[in-house]
Structure 1
Amino acid sequence: MLKYAVASRGDDISDALVERIIQSLNEFGLNQDKQEPEIVISVGGDGTLLQAFHDYSHRLEETAFVGIHTGHLGFYADWIPDEVENLIIHIAKTPFQIVEYPLLEVVVRYGDETTPKRYLALNESTVKNSEGSSLVCNVEIKGETFETFRGDGLCISTPSGSTAYNKALGGAILHPSLASLQIAEMASINNRVYRTVGSPLVLPQHHTCLLKLLNNADVQVTIDHYTINHEDISSIQCRVAEEKIRFARFRPFPFWKRVKESFVGE
């Protein structure tokens, strides 16, 4: 039988819904398995699913995700509480379709030759100067220096994360079927001395972006909602990851319809 796990945002409404889901799925004979689930049901919002993704990022090939939103409509959570009974029946009785979205691979290297650390991001990674001064770094694309960036920071996002912080920075909204990453600037410095391209860049799957830090200040790197502070980070390498996140689809979930509902209205 299908093995499942349920993740909750932790509020009363979400927790009550989780208890209802577990009871119903157990009655159908499904097995709750928090260690090795085949499907993870996220109850809350996009942040809850984001956390569930990181909790199970070590088994993306075996685990699919589905989201129920108990707040505002999300980009990852497409079911509402009134539809839970229908979803439970689908999970228990219906083979689900798998939809895969690209992820961002982030490799952080250190000046003291500490072993590089590799991370996966579902939405984005940001790079800022943690002391509040400007970030200064060389931006290399495919091994060639593209520009020297000076400004508040850079945001490197996935297509599915392009509707999050990237959009607030003036980045483009990309359909999540595009295996790509996007680089958006945060308040770049442009004058007679310093110059950046000033526009978001979209890189395809086979292109790598390398940020080589030129100032010795502490740098703050975020991976989705996680923060990495380290005074000796020398470079951050970003590219489209080989891994993908797998969503369980039981019905159509049109991306552009979600964009319209979230940003334009009915």
Structure 2
Amino acid sequence: MNYAIVAKKDPYSYQVEAILKKTLDEAGWNYDKEHPSLVICVGGDGTLLYAVHRYLNKINEIRFLGIHTGTLGFFTDYTAEELEECIYDLLHKEPMVFASKLLKVHLTKENKSFYALNEMRVENVIKSQRVDIYIDDEFFETCNGTGICLSTQAGSTAYNRSLRGAVIDSGLSLLQLAEITPIQHSKHRSLNNPYVMMDTRSIRMEGEFSDALLCYDHLHYCLDGMNTIICEMSDLEVHFARYREYSYLKRLKNLY
């Protein structure tokens, strides 16, 4: 088995990484950071997101497993205290594989695409951002405020949740559109509620994006000069290797 480890930059995570690597190497596994079949993420959700983007060019060929050493591990299957059990499962069990599609964000002017596991956001903290929203080329509404968030099922518990968006059950592939601090008054009204839609929808955002940022997962890109963004589900998937029973409800309860 070719594997790689991506660890959070703290002493505890490095310690877990060292134990994990020593044990797997002694068991005959091959450590290969360039061509892994399995990427083990030691840290939290941020570490896993970093690993997903690190291996984006090979994403459909890799499985991911998370070991939690941080403050929040929604994507992680084991805690550091369960390291011995995790190693046993890795060496003796065949995993179930759960796939989660990546959201594709395309900037038409630059013909450049970005990908997100959780969400994409258009944010402008300098001035009000006016965005025209089209769904499947049909005009939907004009939003005016700090910005727009479009999340996947996986991202429904992340930034979307802070916007009072719905938490989407595991196994449902949906998109959710939510406004960020919208301006509502007698001269301008928008839906002002999160909108959940099929994952086959294409969402087009148009506006003058001067001073705005495209935020995708933990990354960002300056939108100066851009005026059209197209979002849709991609053919790229993150494959999670699961060696034991997965309880979405249990993980959800750990959030609050």
What is the Cα deviation at residue 216 of structure 1? 5.6
Structure 1 residue ranges without an equivalent (≥5) = none
Query: CA separation in 2, counterparts of 1:256 and 1:228?
Result: 34
Q: Deviations over 1:99-120 (max 9, x none)?
A: 112221111222xxx3x11111
Match of 1:218 among 211, 216, 225: 211
For 1:224, give the aligned amino acid: D
TM-score normalised to structure 2 length: 0.96
Residue-pair matches, total: 256
Aligned to 1:261: 254
User: Aligned pair 1:245/2:238, yes or no?
Assistant: yes
Aligned to 1:81: 80
Contact 1:107 1:117 in 2 (8 A): yes
What is the Cα deviation at residue 139 of structure 1? 0.2
Matches within 5 A, 1:189-200: 189-200=183-194
Q: What stretches of structure 1 move > 6 A for 4+ residues in a row?
A: none
Aligned to 1:138: 132
Structure 2 residue ranges without an equivalent (≥5) = none
Query: CA separation in 2, counterparts of 1:17 and 1:216?
Result: 43
Query: CA separation in 2, counterparts of 1:80 and 1:170?
Result: 28
Q: Deviations over 1:150-183 (max 9, x none)?
A: 1111111111111111000110001231111111
Query: CA separation in 2, counterparts of 1:88 and 1:75?
Result: 20
TM-score normalised to structure 1 length: 0.93
Query: CA separation in 2, counterparts of 1:60 and 1:95?
Result: 20
Matches within 5 A, 1:129-208: 129=124, 132-208=126-202
User: Aligned pair 1:121/2:116, yes or no?
Assistant: yes
Aligned to 2:23: 24
SS state at 1:262 partner: coil
Query: CA separation in 2, counterparts of 1:66 and 1:19?
Result: 16
**Farther off after superposition, 60-69 or 234-243:** 234-243
For 1:167, give the aligned amino acid: R
Contact 2:210 2:223 in 1 (8 A): no
User: Aligned pair 1:10/2:4, yes or no?
Assistant: no
For 1:176, give the aligned amino acid: S
Identity %: 35
Superposed CA RMSD in Å reads 1.3
Q: Deviations over 1:124-151 (max 9, x none)?
A: 1110225x10111110001001011111
Query: CA separation in 2, counterparts of 1:144 and 1:235?
Result: 15
